[in-house]
Amino acid sequence: MAFVKLCNVEDLWEGEMESFEVNGREILVVWPSGGEIVAFQAVCPHQDIPLVEGKFDGKTIICRAHQWMFDCRTGAGVNPSDCRLAKYPIKIEGDDVLVETEGVQSLFAHT
């Protein structure tokens, strides 16, 4: 499989997150404040809630359901720290955000 188009760079602003579907799966696109666009699994590792329904302050993604928090650059769990978001390889070509979905599976954690 190769990189496929996920969205346009203009589809979100720096400091925002948005969810897009590609290859039959939802992917969360996050633009950290002062950073580069990254892409993660779209659902919370806790109980499968869409993370796009949560909050994002430019640094931390916060799930709306039980306030689990994730570092927006790495996907690492901030609270709790024993979980993480699966990260997708992406690249930017012109205005296109491309993603590679093969080999990436959503991660889930204890409850």
> How many CA atoms, within 13 angstroms, populate the side-chain half-sphere of residue 35?
19
Long-range (24+ apart) CB contacts under 8 A made by 77-80 are: 77/45, 77/109, 80/109
Residue 29 binds to ligand FES (criterion: CB under 6 A) = no
DSSP string of 75-96, one letter each residue? -BEEESSS-B--EE-EEEETTE
Residues 33-52 within binding reach of ligand FES (CB under 6 A): 44, 46-47, 49
* Minimal distance, residue 5 CB to ligand FES, in Å: 28
Rounded Cα gap, residues 32 and 102, in angstroms: 24
Size of the site for ligand FES (CB under 6 A): 8
The nearer residue to ligand FES, 32 or 54, going by C-beta atoms, is 54
Residues 58-87 within binding reach of ligand FES (CB under 6 A): 63, 65-66, 68
The nearer residue to ligand FES, 6 or 44, going by C-beta atoms, is 44
* Minimal distance, residue 77 CB to ligand FES, in Å: 10
Q: In the chain, what are the helix, strand and coil shares in percent, each to the nearest 5? A: 5, 40, 55
Interface with ligand FES by CB under 6 A: which residues? 44, 46-47, 49, 63, 65-66, 68
